[in-house]
Amino acid sequence: MSIPKICGIETEYGIIAKGMDASAVTASSLLINSYVGRFDKNVGWDFKDEQPGNDARGLSLDDSFPPEIEMHLVNTVLTNGARYYVDHAHPEVSTPECRSVDEALIFDRAGEEIVRQSMIAAKSFLPEGAELIAYKNNSDGKGNSYGCHENYLLARALPFAKMAALITTHFVTRQVFCGAGKVGTEFESMPNESVAFQLSQRADFFEEEVGLETTLKRPIVNTRDEPHCDPTKYRRLHVIVGDANMSEVATYLKLGTTAILLSMIEDDQLPEDLLLLNPVPAIRQISHDPTLRQAILLENDKRMTALEIQESLYQYAERYANSFGLESVGQTTGENILRRWREVIEGLQSDPLSVAHIVDWVAKKRIIDGLVTRHNLRDTDAKLKAVDLQYHDMRPDKCLALRAGLETLVSQRQALDACTAPPESTRAYFRGKCLEKWPNDVVAANWDSVVFDIGSGPLKRIPMIEPLRGTKAMTEELFDRCLTPSDLISALGDAVTSSSFKPSN
């Protein structure tokens, strides 16, 4: 039976320092420090279990470049269970691990609010006229891309190669509804203006079907094997192929459809008749055709459009839901995902403009086409590229996505609450509550442990290798009962170990 699809989103934001000289790393550090500096204590990240070089296929690393861990950069953990840090010259928010797609969406929205609050806080430290501006997009239009990653809990027993082959079809075609849209192309052998508008921010940057890299020769399926939990029971699929979405419904669909299809693969219920012959060129061909008519070749010699493939995937998912249920994503949530998945496919089939309130690339293209007509602009006019960038501007008074009539699923209140309160249904609750209750005693935290300094003896490390333990239901009473970290350590007994964590700053 498929396991709970615990999931999260890791977003690298674009960043510009306006009215001041600052490198991207300095600007990112300033942004994050401005936010965490508002609180008394900056809790460090414990790198003990970081292994981004581990490959899910068990291969040697001779031909690839595993990501390096940048321990010297700003890196902190928030009371909502999220990680907020500088990654490769970008500010990145990793949401806490969530039991449902609804929760993950709320925490992705909270991430946006945290970045907005950081921009406001930074302004008060900077000289008159200077500001830091963040963009929730994935490319600068000049060949530089940065990611919006998703992660999903999988059973370790599931053979990786089989899963990779099956999910690739979805990763190549789901951009019809979760592409964020882009003016021009950045594919290396094509002139930028040879594509006026494409579905995806990221599609130009994928060169391999499966692999370990994330910053060059990017693969459609990433093999990074860092479960951040019990490695004998779980995998954590690290998905690097997606765009950062401004549309909440697009984020919801991106996570939801992927979680359901992964559950189907775990239950051996996704047929193999939709495997693609050439996924790498296909992801680009689909992205480069906003008419959605481009057919791509399947392994079985059939030709189908991305939309036809999505319709087939949807039908398989509906059949799966009827016979297996959708408990792995939550039954009610699962039914909502299926309904919205069907609606977006039908909308794109009849008239893409009918889903301009849901699909980012359609909303963006509607603005661009409107401006072209109104001002009689050429496809290459800088104004259109400005619209492309400004759609993702995190300043509410400048953001075009906020003006595009997008449907919302999360209230502002929910997003703001989630900036400080953790999700209640995973171990993120335990992490967040420890930080909220004892900010001066927690010296470090990471996904699967919290390290305390209780004043005497070695540091104490509380491991959290089960993502579904440490929930509110399981620990609320414990937090009520324990007045000090020492009480907590005593209460947990043998589970606590000594830690050799040394603060890096």
Residues in the chain: 505
Q: How far is the CB of 205 from another protein (least distance, A)?
A: 9
Phi and psi dihedrals of 296, rounded to 5? Answer: -120, 160
Which one, of 233, 123, 199, 155, lies nearest residue 359 by Cα? 199
- Rounded CA-CA distance 361/176 in Å is 8
379 near another protein, judged by CB under 8 A: no
Q: What H or E segment, with its residue span, contains residue 446?
A: strand 442-446
Residue 331 in contact with another protein, rule: CB under 8 A: no
Q: Does 441 bind another protein (CB under 8 A)?
A: no
Crossing angle of helices 306-324 and 160-173, rounded to 10°: 130
Stretch that binds another protein, among 8-16, 42-50, 323-331, 444-452 (CB under 8 A): 8-16
| From 46, 55, 87, 448, the catalytic residue | 87
Q: Which is nearer to another protein, 67 or 439 (CB)?
A: 67
Q: Please tell me whether residue 360 binds another protein under the rule CB under 8 A.
A: no
Amino acid making up residue 294: Q
- Token representation of residue 275: 């495997």
CB-neighbour burial class of residue 48 (10 A; exposed 0-12, middle 13-18, buried 19+): middle
Window 409-428: residues binding another protein (CB under 8 A):
409-411, 414
* Distance from C-alpha of 356 to C-alpha of 474, rounded to nearest angstrom: 42
Instruction: Based on the residue annotation, tell me whether 62 is a catalytic residue of this protein.
Output: no
67 belongs to the binding site for another protein (CB under 8 A) = yes
The CB-of-131 to another protein minimum distance in angstroms stands at: 14
Residue 357 touches another protein, criterion: CB under 8 A: yes
Partner residues linked to 127 by β-bridges: none
**Of 226, 245, 243, whose CA–CA distance to 235 is shortest?**
226
Residue 315 touches another protein, criterion: CB under 8 A: no
Measured between alpha carbons, how far is 151 from 155 in angstroms, rounded to an integer?
A: 13
- Stated as kind and residue range, the H or E segment containing 373 is helix 360-375
CB count, 10 Å around CB of 455?
9
User: What is the DSSP pairing of strand 83-87 with strand 90-94?
Assistant: antiparallel
**Using CB under 8 A, which of 43, 45, 76, 87 touches another protein?**
87
Piece of the chain touching another protein by CB under 8 A; list 83-91, 227-235, 320-328, 492-500: 83-91
Closer residue to another protein in complex, CB, 103/266: 103
Closest CB 409 distance from another protein, rounded Å: 6
Q: What is the DSSP pairing of strand 442-446 with strand 206-211? A: unpaired
Sole window of 161-169, 291-299, 377-385, 450-458 interacting with another protein (rule: CB under 8 A): 377-385
Amino acid (one-letter) located at 331? Q
Write the interaction track for another protein spanning residues 146-175; mark x where CB under 8 A is met and - where it is not.
xx-x--------------------------
CA nearest to 201, candidates 282, 324, 283: 283
Q: Interface with another protein includes 406 (CB under 8 A)?
A: yes
Q: How far apart are CA 359 and CA 350, in angstroms?
A: 14
Instruction: Verify binding: residue 398, another protein, rule CB under 8 A.
Output: yes
Stretch that binds another protein, among 386-394, 426-434, 477-485, 487-495 (CB under 8 A): 386-394
Alpha helices, DSSP H, located in 78-126: 101-125
Q: Nearest approach, Cβ of 141 to another protein (angstroms)?
A: 7
Distances 350 to 35, 130, 345, 463, 498 between C-alpha atoms, Å: 45, 47, 9, 52, 61
**Cβ closest to another protein, residue 199 vs residue 244:** 244
Query: Of the candidates 30, 31, 89, 462, which one interacts with another protein according to CB under 8 A?
Result: 89
For residues 10 and 388, give the distance between their C-alpha atoms in angstroms, rounded to a whole number. 22
Shortest separation between residue 107's beta carbon and another protein, angstroms? 12
Q: What is the Rg, in whole angstroms, of the alpha carbon atoms belonging to the chain? A: 22
User: Is residue 354 a contact residue for another protein (CB under 8 A)?
Assistant: yes
7 is a contact residue toward another protein (CB under 8 A): no
Report the distance separating Cα 469 and Cα 429, nearest Å: 9
In angstroms, what is the minimal distance from the CB of 393 to another protein? 9
Among 19, 325, 370, 458, binds another protein (CB under 8 A): 370
Q: Which is nearer to another protein, 72 or 374 (CB)?
A: 374
Q: What does the alpha-carbon distance between residue 141 and residue 288 come to, in Å, rounded to a whole number?
A: 15
**Interface pick for another protein out of 44, 181, 219, 347 (rule CB under 8 A):** 347
**Closest Cα partner for 407 from 245, 173, 176, 260?**
245
Q: Closest CB to another protein among 400 and 454?
A: 400
Minimum CB–partner distance for residue 350 and another protein (Å): 5
Residues that bind another protein (CB under 8 A): 12, 14-16, 24, 67, 87-90, 102, 105-106, 135, 139-142, 144-147, 149, 214-216, 240, 336, 343, 346-347, 350-351, 353-357, 366-367, 370-371, 374, 381-383, 385-387, 389-390, 397-398, 400, 403-411, 414
List, by residue number, the catalytic residues.
Answer: 87
